[in-house]
Amino acid sequence: MHKKIRQKGLLSPLLAAICLIITACTAQAQHVYRFDIKEDIGPNAWRQVKNAYAKAEEAKVDMVLIEMNTFGGMVNFADSIRSRILDSPLETVVFINHNAASAGALISLASDRIYMSKGSSIGAASVVDQTGQLLPEKHQSYMRGLMRATAEAKGRDPQVAEAFVDGDVDLPNIKPAGKILTLTSTEAVDIGLAEAEASSVADVLSAEGMGSARVTTHQVTTIDRIISFLINPAVSGILILLIIGGIYFEMQTPGIGFALIVAIIAAALFFAPLYIQGLADNWEIALFVAGIVLILLELFVIPGFGVAGILGIICLVCGLAFSMVVNDYFDFSIAEPGMLFNSFLLVIASMVVATILMVIFGKSLLNTRAFKRLVLQDEQRSAAGYTSSKVNLEMVNKEGVAKTVLRPSGKVEIEGKWYDAVALDGFIDIGEDVYVEKHENYNLFVRKKRTS
């Protein structure tokens, strides 16, 4: 009898210890993937969310934890983020650490549970322009519907979500009539929008029963940082300066190649991150290239300055501006209000500044020591024994016809043969009669044939 009692007495602590070990192992097996949204909602935030969820789903974590502190941003990117959260099979918990305003409120509503630090707030999601003025009803109506649908998808009160946008929504004892709803952490907990107040991420994990879970923090890569830097409007403006300046200097000093390389690199740095972020599309890049081609045709092929040149400038400006704005071809309604105007303003201002700088510093820059190092400066003078070609005196005074526009160089036909020629008159149109005045450097120098 005593032996059985002693064995039972030993068995109970052993079972308790086994249970503790199993519980600990189970807790350690839990995995949380964490990342922050602590910036304006835009292409960078959207890229981070996409990458974070891709890694979290690949790792098959138990929960995604987002620590949020944002005053809002672009509605279209906020919609993309909330859709990604709703579509994910993973549970998502948002910890609002200070602010979840506007677009941040929409993203928070897409999560499974919300926690808030003391003193935090959520709401004020009306759609405004760059100056903070409310936009027309169609924008507010879209946002109200988006907030309601998101709240309903997660079992939250759709009226509360709609009140974040519309002051006319009647919520007695929650907000004054005619005022857009913004909730403090205490108010959000009281009406059941938030689970509880928490002072830290550790508190949130404990409340979720994952105090011992393994937490993986999303790491922002070097490529992400570079992309974020390049799509900064100030950097975009500098790249546009380099594009325009490179094209200008290439035309001023044809054949050196360096200025053209600068323009190509600047264009690549401008378009590549925008393309990766989903802003620039193929047709916008093609529009930019078409603009460059039209301008070059106007300068070197088509006489005068007319339709091709004007169309080229329009295509170039539109290609650069459109690529910085979310659109569906020429439908810009999905972009943040005012973004299209700001993009055009940035492009035009950069081009004006580039033109001014080229006029003021263009000639002096070409003569600087640093620039000359990039260009072949040695001259092969005849006094040193160099000669480019033998002068063919038999060609002098012979007559022919311009086969291409000479502006000033082009092709002429003399006695059934085509020759490279340079117009001493500056410009000779195709089909005009010419005569050879001199021959040197493998080129014929011609003038228009005068009619008596």
Distance CA 127, CA 119 (A): 24
Element (H, E) at 311: helix 307-322
What b-and-e string marks burial along 46-59, b requiring 16 or more CB atoms within 10 Å of the CB? bbbbebbbeebeee
pLDDT at 6: 44
- Count CA atoms closer than 13 A to 129's CA, side-chain side: 12
Sign of the dihedral through C-alpha 293, 260, 265, 242: negative
Size of the chain in residues: 452
245-289 pLDDT, tens digit each:
888 777 665 555 677 788 889 999 999 988 887 778 899 999 999
Residue among 343, 341, 238 at smallest CA distance from 280: 343
pLDDT at 207: 94
Counting as low any pLDDT under 50, the low residues of the chain are 1-8, 10-11, 26-27, 374-377, 385-388
pLDDT at 318: 92
Task: Answer left, alpha or beta for residue 420, where phi above 0 means left and psi between -120 and 50 means alpha.
Answer: beta
pLDDT at 186: 94
Distance CA 416, CA 400 (A): 9
pLDDT at 312: 87
SS3 state at 48: helix
Q: Is the pTM higher than 0.85?
A: no
Phi, psi of 417 (to 5 degrees): -120, 145
pLDDT at 410: 82
Q: Are 351 and 248 in contact (CB under 8 A)?
A: no
pLDDT at 423: 87
63-107 pLDDT, tens digit each:
999 999 999 888 888 998 999 999 999 999 999 999 999 899 999
Distance CA 2, CA 11 (A): 14
Domains of the chain: 27-220 (3.90.226.10), 223-368 (no CATH), 389-448 (2.40.50.140)
Q: Which two tokens stand for residue 384?
A: 């040193």
Angle formed by the axes of helices 43-59 and 222-230, nearest 10°:
160
Strand stretches in 6-112, DSSP E: 31-37, 63-70, 91-101
Q: Are 312 and 298 in contact (CB under 8 A)?
A: yes
